[in-house]
Amino acid sequence: MRIFSGIKPTGPLHVGSYAGAISQWLAFQKDPASEGFFCVVDLHALTNNPSPEQLRRDIMETAAGYLAFGLHDARFPIFIQSHVPAHSELTWVLSTLAGVGELERMTQFKDKAGYAEILKARDRVTQRLEQTIEELDLLQAGSMGAHHRLVRDQHKEVIDGYRSLKEELDNLHALLTARDSRVGAGLLNYPVFMAADILLYDTDVVPVGEDQLQHVELARTLARRFNSRYGETFKLPRAKLVKGASRIMSLQDPKKKMSKSLGSAHYVGIFEPADIVRKKIMSAVTDSGSDIKYDPATKPALSNLITLMGVVTGKSASNIEHEYAHVGYAAFKEKLAEAFLAFFESVRRKKAELDKDPHHVLFELKAGAEKAREITNKKLRDAQYKIGLV
């Protein structure tokens, strides 16, 4: 079974990526019936507009992280996406099969482009404007009788409200226009590139976090479209998620997914100094009450911490609830920080060693890229031939 997955080098590896992706990669690596590639998807990171120094640092950090986890062996090489040019070449071909509307509907695009929030705000303001017009109509009808002065005052109030809503709407419109010129085309094409990554390897399974489900679906769609037009060429991949841990939430805002882009306090990095790990976990927000209880609907923050405790101890949520039922939030967070550091201790040690030896990291990456090129050159050639390129 062929596995393919990757992580964007846009900052430190955090426990969300471990829970959703890396933990699965390690399991596949142990399974002798599986083989595949783990990629540092550096070209995807460009959509964040990093500085060259930052990008170089993040690429090496992410690769060293993979090696520290032991994610590199004969059956599972690691490599850097830009070292294998076929990824970029197939992206162009697939982009001619993808619809702009289809890409604009991707949740990640809408979130990153900032459209979702603006559009929601616009709907809210428009609705309030409509209510205001109804109120005006009512006032108009009522003004036929007596109490003229009172009605005039009420009129004025409603019209002032109308003016300020109209201003809000104009501002939102300006915001949308400004976004339009700032949102890069790379962000829109992002999932097409990801489809190329996956399809080049005849991938069966893509182990990822929940946020990538829609992108893997698109890879399937594009593969199907290519095959039906040009003949059987690409295998249809399927995503695989970790049950119960495919969406770790932010430590500061349990309504949002833990991610590097929210800011440092929102995530806890696998390789951060121990005192920072403790500080971040101790400062995680909690819910009202004091019981250690797993209930995402009423206790989203605590449920997320319980999930994290499960990730680093292997215990079920109900076992954790029993064990820590009445210790209180602070003591639970202390235990979580210690369990986190104990679980990742050996990987953290290995990573510190690798940081001193970037040549070794590069050596492994180059060896991996060579193996990847062997596979992708053949696949790309096959696709190009079928399209009619000579």
Query: Among all residues, which ones are annotated catalytic?
Result: 112, 257, 260
State how beta strands 78-80 and 238-240 pair: unpaired
Question: Is residue 347 involved in binding ligand TRP (CB under 6 A)?
Answer: no
DSSP 44-74: HHGGG---HHHHHHHHHHHHHHHHHTT--SS
Among 84, 208, 248, 365, binds ligand TRP (CB under 6 A): 208
- What is the rounded CA–CA span in Å between residue 223 and residue 206? 14
Q: How far is the CB of 84 from ligand TRP (least distance, A)?
A: 12
Window 339-358: residues binding ligand AMP (CB under 6 A): none
Residue type, 201: Y
Handedness of CA 243, 194, 28, 251 (dihedral sign): negative
In the 8-state DSSP scheme, what is residue 210? G
Which lies closer to ligand AMP via its Cβ, residue 132 or residue 212? 212
Q: How far is the CB of 5 from ligand TRP (least distance, A)?
A: 4
Q: Which does 72 bind (CB under 5 to 8 A by kind): ligand TRP, ligand AMP, none?
A: none
Among 13, 194, 302, 354, binds ligand TRP (CB under 6 A): 194
Q: How far is the CB of 116 from ligand TRP (least distance, A)?
A: 17
Question: Is residue 200 involved in binding ligand TRP (CB under 6 A)?
Answer: no
CB 50, CB 58: distance < 8 Å: yes
Question: Is residue 198 involved in binding ligand TRP (CB under 6 A)?
Answer: yes
Which lies closer to ligand TRP via its Cβ, residue 154 or residue 221? 221
CB 268, CB 15: distance < 8 Å: yes
Which of the ranges 119-127, 192-200, 253-261, 293-301 carries the binding residues for ligand TRP, by CB under 6 A? Answer: 192-200
Window 27-56: residues binding ligand TRP (CB under 6 A): 41, 44
Q: Which does 19 bind (CB under 5 to 8 A by kind): ligand TRP, ligand AMP, none?
A: ligand AMP
Residue 3: phi, psi to the nearest 5?
A: -110, 140
Residue 366: phi, psi to the nearest 5?
A: -70, -40
CA dihedral angle for residue 44, residue 50, residue 51, residue 54, rounded to 10 degrees: -80
Residue type, 219: A
Window 208-247: residues binding ligand AMP (CB under 6 A): 208-209, 211-212, 246-247
Question: Is residue 7 involved in binding ligand AMP (CB under 6 A)?
Answer: yes
Q: Helix or strand or coil: residue 205?
A: strand
CA 102 to chain centroid, in Å, comes to 19
CB 309, CB 293: distance < 8 Å: no
- What is the rounded CA–CA span in Å between residue 122 and residue 258? 27
Which lies closer to ligand TRP via its Cβ, residue 95 or residue 313? 95
Among 87, 257, 266, 333, binds ligand AMP (CB under 6 A): 257
Residue type, 360: H
Which lies closer to ligand TRP via its Cβ, residue 13 or residue 308? 13
Window 241-300: residues binding ligand TRP (CB under 6 A): none
In the 8-state DSSP scheme, what is residue 262? G
Binding site for ligand TRP (CB under 6 A): 4-6, 8, 41, 44, 194, 197-198, 206, 208, 212, 215
Binding site for ligand AMP (CB under 6 A): 7-8, 16-17, 19-21, 208-209, 211-212, 246-248, 257-259
